[in-house]
Amino acid sequence: MPATLAAIAEFLGIELKGEQGRTLTGAAPLEKAGPEHLSFFANSKYAAELASTRAGAVVCSAADAERIPQGCVAIVSANPYLDFARTVARFFDGRPRLEEGVHPTAVVHPTAVLMPGVGVGAGAVIAAGARIGEGTRIHPLAFVGNGCVLGRDCVLHPHAVLYDGCVLGDRVVIHAGAVLGADGFGFAPVPPQGYVKVPQIGWVQVGDDVEIQANACIDRGALGPTVISRGVKIDNLVHIAHNVEIGEHTAMAAQTGIAGSTRIGRWVTFAGQSAVGGHLHIGDQAIVTGQAGVGKNLPPKAVVSGSPAQPMLEHHRGLAELNRLPELKRRVKELEAKLRAWEALSGDGGAAL
Amino acid sequence: MPATLAAIAEFLGIELKGEQGRTLTGAAPLEKAGPEHLSFFANSKYAAELASTRAGAVVCSAADAERIPQGCVAIVSANPYLDFARTVARFFDGRPRLEEGVHPTAVVHPTAVLMPGVGVGAGAVIAAGARIGEGTRIHPLAFVGNGCVLGRDCVLHPHAVLYDGCVLGDRVVIHAGAVLGADGFGFAPVPPQGYVKVPQIGWVQVGDDVEIQANACIDRGALGPTVISRGVKIDNLVHIAHNVEIGEHTAMAAQTGIAGSTRIGRWVTFAGQSAVGGHLHIGDQAIVTGQAGVGKNLPPKAVVSGSPAQPMLEHHRGLAELNRLPELKRRVKELEAKLRAWEALSGDGGAAL
Amino acid sequence: MPATLAAIAEFLGIELKGEQGRTLTGAAPLEKAGPEHLSFFANSKYAAELASTRAGAVVCSAADAERIPQGCVAIVSANPYLDFARTVARFFDGRPRLEEGVHPTAVVHPTAVLMPGVGVGAGAVIAAGARIGEGTRIHPLAFVGNGCVLGRDCVLHPHAVLYDGCVLGDRVVIHAGAVLGADGFGFAPVPPQGYVKVPQIGWVQVGDDVEIQANACIDRGALGPTVISRGVKIDNLVHIAHNVEIGEHTAMAAQTGIAGSTRIGRWVTFAGQSAVGGHLHIGDQAIVTGQAGVGKNLPPKAVVSGSPAQPMLEHHRGLAELNRLPELKRRVKELEAKLRAWEALSGDGGAAL
């Protein structure tokens, strides 16, 4: 919906200089924005785009406000990315929302309980004994297994899958194709005949405000729960094995994998394609860089990279040394040449000394 | 269901000392178990949890039996993990099973053949000419393509997808979102116009007792089959390209990727995020460690790590050397200093010798 | 359908020596083909299979024609893989195609517009305002979100998911479980409370002739589009983050991941499990090898490997140096021994010189 700069400033609790009456109708990136758009600046890589933006207003820091071109209004914020996000959510997010009510083609088991305000889309299936909290939206073709419990205002996007017994808090968002509660990978080898499957009779427990992106997999615990704590954010195609416990507000970028029974602290950051082995502990606020492979416990605030992962500075030093190896070899060769020259001069390999 | 220790011991063929009448009602991990629970001990990392467990009984080795705390009964086994798995499957796996019969919202093509005891869940679709073996369960919203043939007692979990022509043995389990038989990635480049798609007219052949976890992808062969042999276990988000052949009882942890036309032996183990290039042979019982990238054929029983993968010992030695490089540099510097000192003393760079 | 060699030669515009009347009924790999099959030879790794093939005819280069065994006819081509692909597509691809028309169990919103010749399979869902171009096939249980626009002759395989607002060109193929338009991974951290979600109000724009394989994820832009240009091929389980732009005819093998806002040129090649960081530029025709992790901009035609990625030759040199480190250490040790010997002889550490 359209919003005046005055309305935006009031919403953000920010004082605005001039042009209070200018009206914006949407948000766009700096390089694509026109006078009707709000944009933001929070990454110095985009300074050129800022300098030439045609946006009507830009949310930015006080320091960056002077870099904003003429005709564009600076909305000065202590946290531009956050305030931009809040503004877009409040005024400019016109994406359609699934309607309340159960679509006639949805299949809701008679023993399932739907609280007021629930929406269930076409072709979605809700199995026996499931309980769906107030305002929660189950999009088309999503599946909620037997006995699942969902809190309030959750969203299951199309094709999301919850196996039996998953427990979700409030405001949990599960994107398309994500699978919660599939069997953990537990097999007892009995060579030469094969494997005996270890029954996976646990479940998945998800805290409030968790968001899980498309096609991610969170396996159920073998006996107890796999735990995704409050505020955790899990990106596309991430794998969480059985019995893993992830602490509050930890964020995992795409294609990360966590092996079984590992416990991860709070506010840990995993960059893309990183991995952690099984039965480990990762301390609070640790950072695991892209493609790193963690094979040992990590203390709080550790920053690691490489595979096997090392403290990032050591890893970088090792890589730098590797790049300087030809230089080291040259120096050794020079030493050898000098000694050979001396040996030749001394005739008998130094014995004359 | 509840089970006495006597019943469990009889089932396992194990002699039990004392407390035959104690009744258990479920299974739980050591740290969460109460007197009504069975637990197990097979990984020494959890010795502390064993020492303080409140479990009613613990399956463990003879050597570990004495570590079990008072009040807890040791069920001594030559293979604790296996016997625990068997006991849970026999007594404590209360998870719901899809009912026999076709749900009224399922869509089964008139030319599809369902053997007795088949269950088809809400919204599942079975296409023309498919044949579903006795007792097989097709969960809600799963899809079985034209002409697929499924053996007895298979399970397709919700949202599993079989493209046309997949052939599955008996007792095959396919988890949610796994896709079997999608087109292989075959395109003939015709620059500058683009690519011409190579028709993928093969299929996927899956042996008995295979289990494929959530969101894994097994592409169909380009011309012949992609083969997943008997007993193979494939974890979440694994990628198997077209024409690959995987030997019996090979296990692949999450996010592993196998490129096209590679042949993998029997009882091979892939740890998570490992990869193998195309057109290679991997010998029986080889082990590929986490994040390793195999670019060459591997002999049987090879153990490799790193990217590109090397024999694990060599790889570890290389990493250790890398870590000791600063030390080596220091030694070279010392040699240089000594030589410089001698040169200074000898006045003319050693010529005086 | 059956085809004579004369018909195949005419289709390809190739002159054929002898056996014009031989009839083929299908295609098969060299080692499995019989006299009724067409096969091809384009990779010297399969020379043994060529020598012993029983195929009725083989498409191959002029140079390889003489290696073809007796009884088999050589179809000599300047581009064997391409001409084989074209021939199979023309004559031997008997895979079933989804019928025209809307299956009675499909759910098509009354405001959606379907052009002539569209097919919609069982249980598929097409939401409000979507527009489906002529001849496009929406397979069973696929989902098309609000306001999506699909061109002509597209194929959405079973369980493909398009969130609201996706725009697809003509002849786009989306395989099972692929998700286009899920929210980008955008969260503004507000410690210690958690994160505030950044609304993802952009969309996904896909050019003509794009093919996206199973369970791949292409996130919508945060504000503008995520762009997949004409002719791009994306393999299974690939992750494309929000705001990424991929140039024409770029190909990405399985499990590759591209972080947010990165721009990739034309005809770039990504091998499996490779990755690119956020906010980078990758030049045209660059090649990123398997498991490489790109952390810097790449110029056109760069060839990189390793994590962090380096020019491939440097990376290989570094690995080779690493393998020769024990040798270097041995040489340093020898130098040290010699100096020690000299020092001992000279009595006072060289001062006597």
- Interface residue B82 vs chain A (CB under 8 A): yes
Please name the residues between 46 and 75 in chain C that touch chain B, using a CB distance below 8 Å.
Answer: none
CA distances from A321 to A325, C56, C322 (A): 6, 58, 10
Cβ–Cβ gap B325/C325 under 8 Å: yes
* Calpha distance A120→C296 (Å, rounded): 45
Instruction: Tell me, yes or no, if A340 comes closer than 8 A to chain B by beta carbon.
Output: no
Confidence of residue B350 (pLDDT cuts 50, 70, 90): very low
Res B348: pLDDT: 53
Residue B347 pLDDT level (bands cut at 50, 70, 90)? low
- Please check whether residue C351 touches B, CB under 8 A: yes
Q: Which of residues B338 and C159 earns the better pLDDT score?
A: C159
Answer whether residue A276 is part of any domain: yes
Average pLDDT on B97-111 reads 97
pLDDT band (50, 70, 90) for residue B340: confident
A201:B81 CB<8 A:
no
**HSE (side-chain half, CA atoms, 13 Å) at A2:** 8
B246 with B176, same domain? yes
Cβ neighbours, 10 Å, residue A78: 9
> How far does the CA of residue B232 sit from the closest CA of chain C (Å)?
20
Q: Which residues of B touch A146 (CB under 8 A)?
A: 96
Chain B residues lying within 8 Å of A197, measured CB to CB = 85, 89, 211
> Is the CB of A292 inside 8 Å of chain B's CB atoms?
no
- Mind listing the pLDDT tens digit for each residue in A210-224? 999 999 999 999 999
Evaluate whether residue A109 is within a structural domain. yes
Answer whether A107 sits within 8 Å of B123, measured CB to CB. Answer: yes
Q: Which residues of C touch B148 (CB under 8 A)?
A: none
Which of residues C92, C127, C146 is at a domain's end? C92
* Helix/strand/coil for A91: helix
C41: which chain B residues are within 8 Å (Cβ-Cβ)?
A: none
> Can you give the pTM of this predicted structure?
0.96
Residue type, B20: Q
Beta carbons within 10 angstroms of residue C10's beta carbon? 14
Mean pLDDT estimate for chain A:
95
CB contact under 8 A, C223 and A95: no
A141 interface with B at CB cutoff 8 Å: yes
List phi, psi (to 5°) of A33.
-70, 145
Tell me if chain C has a CB within 8 Å of the CB of B344.
no
Of A125, A275, A346, the CB nearest to B353: A346
Q: Is B345 inside any structural domain? A: no
Burial class (CB in 10 A: 0-12, 13-18, 19+), A317: middle
Structure letter (DSSP) for residue C181: S
Residues of chain A positioned with their CB less than 8 A from the CB of B335 = 335
pLDDT at C231: 98
Q: Are residues B108 and B87 in the same domain?
A: no
Question: Is there a single domain that holds both residue A169 and residue A304?
Answer: yes
Domain CATH number, residue A196: 2.160.10.10
pLDDT greater than 60 at residue A230: yes
Instruction: Return phi, psi of residue C346, to 5°.
Output: -80, -5
- The answer to whether the CB atoms of A145 and B122 lie below 8 A apart is no
The residue ranges of DSSP E strands in B232-279, in sequence order, are: 233-234, 239-240, 245-246, 251-252, 257-258, 263-264, 269-270, 275-276
Binary contact (B140, A243; C-beta < 8 A): no
Alpha-carbon distance B28 to nearest alpha carbon in chain C (angstroms): 32
Q: Which residues of B touch C84 (CB under 8 A)?
A: 198
The answer to whether residue A324 scores a pLDDT higher than 90 is: no
Beta bridge partners of B303: B287
- C116 prior amide bond cis, ω within 30: no
Give the per-residue pLDDT at A352. Answer: 40
**pLDDT, tens digit (0-9, with 9 covering 90-100), for A279-288:** 999 999 999 9
Given the DSSP bridges, would you call strands C3-4 and C23-24 parallel, antiparallel or unpaired? Answer: antiparallel
- Judging contacts by C-beta atoms under 8 Å, the chain B residues touching residue A176 are none
Are A237 and C217 inside 8 Å of each other by CB? yes
Closest residue to B85, CB basis, from A198, A295, A332: A198
From B36, B60, B92, give the residue that closes a domain: B92
Q: How high is the pLDDT of residue C20?
A: 83
- The 10s digit of each residue's pLDDT in A325-338 is 888 989 999 999 98
Q: Which pLDDT value is given to residue A272? A: 98
As a whole number, mean pLDDT of residues C215-231 equals 97
Please name the amino acid found at residue A97. R
Does residue C214 share a domain with residue C65? no
> Pick from A255, A295, A294: which is nearest to A271 by CA?
A255
Chain C neighbors (3+ CB pairs < 8 Å): A, B
Are residues A297 and A187 part of one domain? Answer: yes
Least CB–CB distance from B209: residue in A194, A215, A239: A194
For the segment C333-340, the average pLDDT, to the nearest whole number, is 89
Asked if C186 is an interface residue toward chain A (Cβ–Cβ < 8 A), one would say yes
Tokens of residue B176, six digits: 């949610």
Q: Do C215 and B314 touch (CB under 8 A)?
A: no
Give which of B286, B277, B216 is closest to B247, Cα–Cα: B286
Taking only the tens place, the pLDDT of each residue in C158-175 is 999 999 999 999 999 999
Distance CA(C212)–CA(B179), nearest Å, equals 14
Among A14-28, B121-135, C47-61, C118-132, the minimum mean pLDDT is found in A14-28
Q: Does B254 touch chain A (CB under 8 A)?
A: yes
pLDDT in tens, C97-142: 999 999 999 999 999 999 999 999 999 999 999 999 999 999 999 9
In angstroms and rounded to an integer, the radius of gyration of the C-alpha atoms of chain B is 28
- Split at pLDDT 50, 70, 90, the class of A105 is very high
pLDDT at B341: 85
Question: How sure is the predictor about C149, in pLDDT bands with cuts at 50, 70 and 90?
Answer: very high
For residue C28, give its domain range. Answer: 3-92
Domain count, chain C: 2
Three-state DSSP class for C27?
Answer: strand
Q: Which of C159, C175, C242, C315 is labelled catalytic?
A: C242
Q: How far is C94 from chain A (nearest CA, A)?
A: 30
Q: Across residues B333-349, what is the average pLDDT?
A: 79
Chains meeting A at 3+ CB pairs closer than 8 A? Answer: B, C
pLDDT digits (tens, 9 = 90+) for B26-56: 999 999 999 999 999 999 999 999 999 999 9
Residue B197 lies in a domain: yes
Q: Is the pLDDT of residue C350 over 60?
A: no
Cβ distance of A201 and B93 shorter than 8 Å: yes
A119 lies in the same domain as A249: yes
Nearest to B211 by CA among B158, B166, B154: B154
Site of tokens 């061109």: C151
Domain co-membership, B184 together with B36: no
Give the contacts of B171 (CB within 8 A, at least 6 positions apart).
Answer: B151, B152, B153, B154, B208, B209
- Domain presence at residue B273: yes
| Residue C343 domain flag | no
- Tokens 């044949």, residue? B131
pLDDT of residue C338 exceeding 90, the answer is no
List of chain B residues whose C-beta atoms are within 8 Å of the C-beta of residue A198:
81, 84-85, 88
Do residues B217 and C213 make contact, with C-beta atoms less than 8 angstroms apart?
yes
Question: Would residue B279 show up in a list of annotated catalytic residues for this protein?
Answer: no
- pLDDT in the model for residue C48: 95
Domain assignment of residue C57, yes or no: yes
Establish if C195 touches chain A: CB-CB under 8 angstroms: yes
The answer for residues whose C-beta is within 8 angstroms of residue B232's C-beta and 6 or more apart is B207, B210, B246, B247, B248, B249, B250, B251, B252
CB contact under 8 A, B272 and A257: yes
Q: Most A CBs within 10 Å: which of C163, C217, C304, as the mutation test of the A interface? A: C217
Q: What pLDDT, in 10s, does the model give residues A156-165?
A: 999 999 999 9
C27, with CB counted inside 10 A (0-12, 13-18, 19+), is buried
Question: Residue B17: what pLDDT?
Answer: 78
At A348, is the pLDDT very low, low, confident or very high (cuts 50, 70, 90)?
low
Q: What is the pLDDT of residue C348?
A: 53
pLDDT at A26 over 90: yes
Residues A139 and A221 in one domain: yes
Q: Do C93 and B201 touch (CB under 8 A)?
A: yes
What letter represents residue C321's amino acid? E
Task: Indicate if A53 and A151 belong to the same structural domain.
Answer: no
Whether A347 shows a pLDDT value over 70: the answer reads no
Residues of A forming the active site:
242
**Does A28 fall in a domain?**
yes
User: Do residue C123 and residue C215 come from a single domain?
Assistant: yes
Mean pLDDT along residues C303-330: 92
Nearest to C237 among A29, A233, A237 (CB): A237
Preferred mutation among B157, B174, B190, B201 to probe C, highest tally of C CBs within 10 A: B201
Closest-CA distance of chain A to residue C276, Å: 9
Options B242, B249, B279, B316, the catalytic residue: B242
Mean per-residue pLDDT for B10-38? Answer: 92
Same domain, A85 and A111: no
The answer to whether the CB atoms of B159 and C157 lie below 8 A apart is: no
Question: The domain spanning residue A65 has which CATH number?
Answer: 3.40.1390.10
B75 bridge partner residues:
B59
- Please tell me whether residues C288 and C182 are part of one structural domain: yes
User: Distance between CA A293 and CA C239 in Å, rounded?
Assistant: 19
Q: Are B40 and B60 in contact (CB under 8 A)?
A: yes
* Confidence tier at B200 by pLDDT (50, 70, 90): very high
Interface test with C, best of A208, A273, A285, A288 (most C CBs within 10 A): A273
Closest by CA position to B241, among listed B279, B283, B292: B279
- Listed residues A92, A121, A141: the one ending a domain: A92
Q: Residues 101-120, chain B: which have Cβ within 8 Å of A? A: 103, 105
Of B307, B339, B346, the CB nearest to C291: B307
Q: Is A14 on the interface with C (CB under 8 A)?
A: no
